[in-house]
Structure 1
Amino acid sequence: MNILFVTSEAYPLIKTGGLADVAASLPRALLKRDHSVRLVLPAYPRVLEAARKVGLKPLASLTYGERNITVWQTRLPGTRVTVWLVDMPEFSNRGGNPYVDDQGLDWPDNHRRFYWFGVVAAELAMGRAGVDWRADLVHGNDWQSGMAMALLAQEPKRPALVFTIHNLAYHGLFPYSAFAELSLPEHWWHPEAMEFYDQLSFIKGGLVFADQITTVSPSYAREIQTPEFGCGLDGLLFARQAQLSGILNGIDTQEWNPGRDPHLTQNYSRRNLKQKVVNKLALQERVGLPPSEETPLLGFIGRLVEQKGVDLMLSALPEFLKRGECQFVILGSGQAQYHTALKELQALYPEQLALTLGYDEGLAHQIEGGVDLFLMPSLFEPCGLNQLYSLRYGTLPLVHAVGGLNDTVFESSDQTEDGTAAESTPDNGFRFEAPTASALRDALTRALALYHQPDRWRQRQLNAMKGDYSWEKSAQEYERVYEQALQVRDQH
């Protein structure tokens, strides 16, 4: 089928989070399965710069009153995926983050920017932009594409609509003045359409009007139907549960492959897993920790914000560091108070804790390949990718059992007499149920105890590396959802 994939970011053109990885990988997997895929994306300055290197040509010019919008055609670097870029000054004349300014505040015209992005995406989908291609199905992602879903739902002969929630915490909320400024249909200002507690909610454009809704793990699909995780939209999602499904993200298994990863000092696989320790020693040296094969090495990569469970780590870890039971490597950036707290902890335990503020792709790969245990104590996590990278690298994840972490990391509470898992799913990591420092502490104690039983540790590593984390499986599940969306559309 002809699929238009609507997204506000796609790696390697532009990335602020996991959506960019999905937008890079799922269209590629669909293309391999013989679908005709077009990816539509805002033409941010760095996107245009990267696109010029692979080739850029004008595709269409659209005029709305005094507003002129150009659509460029390029392709996703390193792939055969065709990309259409929506170029207007609000995107292309503005550097920095796609959504916020230098102070971290939302751009004040985000409602206009992503409304017009939705208008152009809808025109391209309907084959009305002077382009000889029409979508059978439009796949929108997160609030930035919500307006495209709402506009297309009004079309008499429209494509089927699928909407994916990558993180429900971001709604795309604006005051009534934005609704009035955009001259949206009056009946949309209603709790059963796009009004949310006296605000305009872009994400509701997708949640209300799409034929099928997906999110990025089965557990998160269940969680967002509850008040605890539903961000005020749990009632709507519960009402649409028949159209809601959770499909786990895959990972780029070429980019994340310990057998060929160019960032690693020593490549390895399940067959020569003992070689992994070479990366551990190299990592310890790189980040300034005393090299030691025997000391368990822990890792964390991610945003230093409350959602990622940083408070839990700050409460639980000091006692392990104080006793010299482990070393810890952290890579990330986020809120200033966490930067300060971690710097203070590093000053107290310089031989136990290495902190790199910021992001470094090479170091991220070296951490995945070099540490023994990867921490993801997130308070909520729609899917999570780092636990999947860790599993593939034989680095055992230790996670809070929520969202995608709950669906991918297994630790049996039932043990047989010889200490092996009694359940059908083999243990591949460690998990804790309650979002408390004591639960994290208990899980870490179990993990460190197992580390000192090399045969059992090795078996758990082999279990982890055996999993299939590719996009092929996920792409097949999306095809099933696409078929359901076509059926729903045809019933209306």
Structure 2
Amino acid sequence: MRNLLADARLEDPCPPTLPPFSLTAEVTPVRRRRILFVTSELTDFVKAGGLGDVSAALPRALLAEHDIRVLLPGYRQVLKGAVACRVVGHLPGQAALPPCDIGELQLADGLRVYVVICPELYDREGTPYGDDAGNEWPDNHIRFARLSLAAADMAAGLATPGWCPDLLHVNDWPSALAPAYMAWRGQATPSVLTIHNLGYQGACPLGSCAELGLPEHAGLPESMEFYGKLSFLKAGINHASHITTVSETYAREITGEAFGCGLQGVLAQRRREGRLSGITHGIDASWDARSDPHLVARFDARRLQGKRRNAEYVERSFGLLPGRGPLFAVVSRLVQQKGIDLTLAIADRMVEAGGRLVAIGRGEPPLERAMAQLAERYPGRVGVRIGFDETEARRIYAASDFLLMPSRYEPCGLSQMYAQRLGSLPIARCTGGLADTIVDGVTGLLFREGDPDSYFEAVQRALNIHRYPELLNAMRCKAMEAPQYWSKAVRPYTRLYRDLLAELPVSVRR
């Protein structure tokens, strides 16, 4: 079997890379530090992408060692949820940023969540970032500057009597302005900015400085000016104590022109300074084929009969004919970044070679239509559902033989790890976190170039592997054991927090 696995591997699909330093050393227990985790999404209430999942899982995993609390905008979904929210403080407005209340709610498992209550900004139908038609809110710069300023105020000891964070951990552009507000005020609280996706930078007109309450020098290139606009994300990169990305490979990729989105220069400088590192995500422990209540039948790596029952359910649900070829799956946002157009480009060849395809997701309307048309062209061979449902998604992972992830870039990716845990082998481009979490020919399949031919070569390898059940099952076993849960993935964060807090002058340590 070892030879079969070796034969299935693509020779050196991704040259090995080493980060410039290590965040994996053992952590000595210290006093529970107060961490404010600032996010625009929390799956418990509202989610637009992977940030919501991470924001729900990472703070919970850190609770064992830290007094960590979450700060979230007071969206309608949050304030009308089942958990009662009590007002604990009030913050004044600044420039065009309206005043707000700070609410607090405690979830059943003990996680405390602070809420920025400002109905004129957040009490709306739609997603965290736009309306139900997919249009971004025109005042997003005001909405998320308000979130960032609230975080900076809380770090200054305002609004939450009896609890003041020792460190701020902000996420992506919606909260990236918080370290800048603190720096402009001279606050000493250290901060971590995690970049989940560099492609979204929170740009707004250069003339917005006044309404956001920014100093004049905020509009300079060394602060947050970016090609004639203001970039929230650039402000965070320039002013946070440390920047992390969500995988080691992505931390390296974004310092180059191909993936740097115009910010590669400042990111390369932060890496040279030792202030940029990659910490690969874990996944929630609920992703376990032996116990997942969402599944039609449960199974484990050695006894896979339950996987077949999930496949039968998905075949019925999506109108697929039973087949002897592999079942490929797409569980994804239907957007260009995810390479959905590449899947469409090879779909004819994949079906003609005996594969079947099931897809679930929502995204860009042209890609939604193209996926729906593909299903119409191949009834019984392709099933597509526009939308998303957690239970259906998990059953698709558990049912499928291979998950398709031809992403043009993928900072970390969670879907490949979800699929692995449920016995589906990811077929993915060798980029970002996909390169860090898939061992080619062992726990999935990787391809280098972002073009249809390179992609289809990997699919052809999958078709060949499917003809050898012993090899396929051996790879499934390896894949199901591969992803790490958050309980282990959090250790580098604990060490990073400790190091940043140790750098504070003794006079300002709490």
TM-score by length of 2: 0.89
Q: 2:437, 2:483 within 8 Å by CA — same for their partners in 1?
A: no
Amino acid paired to 1:167: N
Amino acid paired to 2:210: A
- In structure 2, the partner of 1:235 is 265
- 1:76-115 to structure 2, matched below 5 A, reads 76=107, 78-115=108-145
Q: 2:248, 2:432 within 8 Å by CA — same for their partners in 1?
A: yes
Amino acid paired to 2:328: L
CA-CA distance at 1:158 after TM superposition: 2.2
- In structure 1, the partner of 2:201 is 171
Mapped to 2, the partners of 1:238 and 1:61 lie a distance apart of: 40
2:189 to 159, 166, 183: 159
Report whether the alignment pairs 1:122 with 2:148. Answer: no
- In structure 1, the partner of 2:447 is 432
2:382 to 350, 353, 358: 353
1:48 to 68, 79, 91: 79
- In structure 1, the partner of 2:307 is 276
Q: 1:353-404: CA deviations, max 9, x gaps? A: 0010111111101101101111101111111111000111111111011111
- In structure 2, the partner of 1:187 is 217
- In structure 2, the partner of 1:368 is 397
1:397 to 423, 426, 443: 426
2:283 to 226, 251, 254: 251
Report whether the alignment pairs 1:474 with 2:489. Answer: yes
CA-CA distance at 1:333 after TM superposition: 1.6
- In structure 2, the partner of 1:419 is none
- 1:311-322 to structure 2, matched below 5 A, reads 311-322=341-352
- In structure 2, the partner of 1:218 is 248
- In structure 2, the partner of 1:420 is none
CA-CA distance at 1:68 after TM superposition: 3.4
1:457 to 444, 447, 472: 472
Mapped to 2, the partners of 1:489 and 1:201 lie a distance apart of: 28
- In structure 2, the partner of 1:17 is 49
Q: 1:445-480: CA deviations, max 9, x gaps? A: 111111111111111111111124201222101112
Mapped to 1, the partners of 2:158 and 2:101 lie a distance apart of: 14
SS in 1 for 2:128: coil
Q: 1:196-222: CA deviations, max 9, x gaps? A: 112111112210111110010111101
Q: Which moved more, 1:401-410 or 1:178-187?
A: 178-187
- In structure 2, the partner of 1:68 is 99
* Counterparts in 2 of 1:473 and 1:370: CA distance versus 1, 3 Å: same
1:305 to 312, 331, 335: 335
SS in 1 for 2:176: helix
1:447 to 440, 453, 462: 462
1:287 to 318, 328, 335: 318
Amino acid paired to 1:274: Q
SS in 2 for 1:16: coil
Q: Which moved more, 1:107-116 or 1:453-462?
A: 107-116
CA-CA distance at 1:75 after TM superposition: 2.5
Mapped to 2, the partners of 1:281 and 1:104 lie a distance apart of: 34
CA-CA distance at 1:118 after TM superposition: 1.5
* Counterparts in 2 of 1:336 and 1:154: CA distance versus 1, 3 Å: closer
Mapped to 1, the partners of 2:42 and 2:318 lie a distance apart of: 30
- In structure 2, the partner of 1:131 is 161
- In structure 1, the partner of 2:13 is none
Mapped to 1, the partners of 2:275 and 2:229 lie a distance apart of: 25
Q: Which moved more, 1:260-269 or 1:138-147?
A: 260-269
Identity %: 40
CA-CA distance at 1:102 after TM superposition: 4.1
Report whether the alignment pairs 1:36 with 2:67. Answer: yes
Q: 1:321, 1:327 within 8 Å by CA — same for their partners in 2?
A: yes
SS in 2 for 1:111: helix
Q: 1:404-463: CA deviations, max 9, x gaps? A: 111011115xxxxxxxxxxxxxx1111101101001111111111111111111111111
Q: 2:375, 2:382 within 8 Å by CA — same for their partners in 1?
A: yes
Q: 1:143-201: CA deviations, max 9, x gaps? A: 11112111122344522111000100011111122113223111221111111112111
Q: Which moved more, 1:467-476 or 1:228-237?
A: 467-476
SS in 2 for 1:355: strand
Higher relative contact order (CA 8 A, sep 6+): 2
Number of residue pairs the alignment of both structures matches? 471
Mapped to 2, the partners of 1:179 and 1:68 lie a distance apart of: 18
Mapped to 1, the partners of 2:491 and 2:140 lie a distance apart of: 34
Mapped to 2, the partners of 1:348 and 1:101 lie a distance apart of: 32
Q: 2:38, 2:70 within 8 Å by CA — same for their partners in 1?
A: yes
Unaligned segments of structure 2, at least 5 residues? 1-32
- In structure 1, the partner of 2:364 is 335
Report whether the alignment pairs 1:266 with 2:281. Answer: no
Q: 2:125, 2:132 within 8 Å by CA — same for their partners in 1?
A: no
CA-CA distance at 1:24 after TM superposition: 0.4
Amino acid paired to 1:215: T
Amino acid paired to 1:410: V
Report whether the alignment pairs 1:384 with 2:416. Answer: no
RMSD of equivalent CA atoms: 1.8
SS in 1 for 2:192: strand
Q: 1:124, 1:131 within 8 Å by CA — same for their partners in 2?
A: no
Mapped to 2, the partners of 1:174 and 1:90 lie a distance apart of: 20
- 1:203-214 to structure 2, matched below 5 A, reads 203-214=233-244
Amino acid paired to 2:111: V
Amino acid paired to 1:457: L
SS in 1 for 2:304: helix
Mapped to 2, the partners of 1:309 and 1:125 lie a distance apart of: 40
SS in 2 for 1:58: strand
Amino acid paired to 1:448: L
* Counterparts in 2 of 1:155 and 1:2: CA distance versus 1, 3 Å: farther
Q: Which moved more, 1:279-288 or 1:478-487?
A: 478-487
TM-score by length of 1: 0.92
Unaligned segments of structure 1, at least 5 residues? 413-426
SS in 2 for 1:441: helix
SS in 1 for 2:434: helix
CA-CA distance at 1:485 after TM superposition: 2.3
Amino acid paired to 2:293: P
CA-CA distance at 1:82 after TM superposition: 0.4
